[in-house]
Amino acid sequence: MRRFLRTQLWPAVALLALLTLITGIAYPAAVTAVAQVAFPPRPTDRSSSSTGRRSARR
């Protein structure tokens, strides 16, 4: 049993933790960073209201 823990279970748990960190934290953070650089926020249009309709005033 001790040999099983050392040779098979411990590496499996370590890889699970590592891949969870990579796919759950690092990858989404990298994609978000790239998206923020590639698609900067657009300036707001002052003539539109909160409902998205244009105001009657011109």
Mean pLDDT per block of 10 residues along the chain (58 residues) reads 87 96 95 95 71 62
Angle at 13 between CA 11 and CA 17, to 5 degrees: 115
Angle at 20 between CA 29 and CA 35, to 5 degrees: 15
What is the model's pLDDT at position 54? 64
The pair of three-digit structure tokens given for residue 17, joined into one six-digit string: 């933790």
What is the model's pLDDT at position 11? 93
What is the model's pLDDT at position 23? 95
Place of tokens 């969870």: 20
